[in-house]
Structure 1
């Protein structure tokens, strides 16, 4: 049993086909050598085609099999089909020979032709079946590889989420201590004290942004109706100075469900991008989309070339020598955390335009009801 199993193994399948094909070629030569004295030339040619032809086909397939796209685990199936075809034809011709009422002229010749054709016929069926099995094996392997890749991604995401939570916890503890002591200490320089307090607030904000970009919107419990115009105005005041200033035009009364700090952070990052590339005379516009499915932010600066619009979202991509390439990355991740669909396109003045859709909007009547509940 072990030897038969080894005979049909993938390591020997090619050799079995090659030996079978070589046997038919050899038997053709022996048959012609024995019968050549009284066999017409045309009949000899036919025998060569019908017996040696399939033999060469089997011989070539045995040589080529390891070099085809067929998976090695289904090689034995090809051999079994070929031997099965040989066995069927051997049985048919054998029954015809043993049939008392029938007659088979030159049974040896009939057996050689029938078994050769049966072998190559079974080979054809076997190759077709093997290709189908190969596709099934490859699909199974792909499915397994996909499951493994998903499992690795899930493990990496869990480690990242765990790291983000740990980092946020470790940062908040010393930050809270610094804030407490800063509040208790009588400042000698009011402006410096304000700068320190602002820095503390920025660190706190970045911790929140870090958590939401990793965990999604579920990381915040401060989602509430937020007026886009208010947050845009506050963000503009935070990023403009006496030396870096432009013009902000707000043309929306839209209210959305979000964390006010997150929405303001989004505006600050995009406003900084406009100011850095458009200069102090840049005009930035915040308005609702015509279809009322969201809002957009655009400027009249140099814009973002179409061939780099995907690159600007990558961590570290920047066109400025002293830039860090994180602003647009964080803005994109924050929008995705809220399941907002966003695109980069061109404004009417050839500047940059950022469109945000699938935003959770608050209807005016809903906003009034929630205001009553809060009061």
Structure 2
């Protein structure tokens, strides 16, 4: 659906500005790598904590969703006035993360309910197009922190406007939420899957928050780095467009393959950090390690639980939330101490995520047989 695609486009434009270019601008502002890591741990941590609050006290209905969209826009404006004070800027990032923790799970659930899982990738790819568009554009024109915040504010406004339009497509917006069923949601039943998802996202901490800084230190220009980001997203778009038939088959096998591809991806960046061809090969793996992994896992979670929106909140909270937060902090510490070890750590962590999937498969077989 075009309206859902428009939301994904502007939402990931927003994410692109926030992830690709803002960390580097913060280092220019005088923030240390550890401080950048802490700041970029704040928003993910809120995404992790929020589902536990929702499980006990709230439901992700249209009213809460609208409030989250307004909060997201407000936080993007507050960034400008607080960036000169670490504590205040950190607090606004917490507010920003809380809003993110409600917005995307609501839209992902709508998308999976109103379109088939085979078609989901072709709608979600508009987010990737938005991400690559802003990466290419800002790589050519971005020079100051104020410019970065201007793009961030515009993207958040358009995200809010397109997001508000989507409420009409929620098939359950007028249906009362069963609070007892929400409280019965359990992470422990399939704990190994959740640990795997968490570990894989921890492995992405170095990539999301320090890839630009890491490759700049190798002598790559900002334009070259924008091309690397963009190439990865092009590969992601191609995968999202053609992956539909794959999602009809054994989802866990796909998830394992995608997880193993992350191990290879980080190993390449560790062994050959200054080799441009290897960097492009690593980015090509984004098609599998991110695009195929993301769609197969959210589809898997959607099938696994009856509490659809809450399950998506927990998925994003545990992965991009807790995993992103821990990954950002650890990446900051490792980069400060020894930048060359950053992607070795990522590869080992991704390998741990791969091992956890085997534990999950065995446990699920026993549960299904009981």
TM over 0.5: no
Q: Determine which structure has the larger strand proportion and give its number.
A: 1
- Choose 1 or 2 for highest CA Rg: 1
Q: Determine which structure has the larger helix proportion and give its number.
A: 2
The higher-RCO structure (CA 8 Å, 6+ apart) is 2
Q: Normalising to structure 1: TM-score of the pair? A: 0.22
Q: Normalising to structure 2: TM-score of the pair? A: 0.22
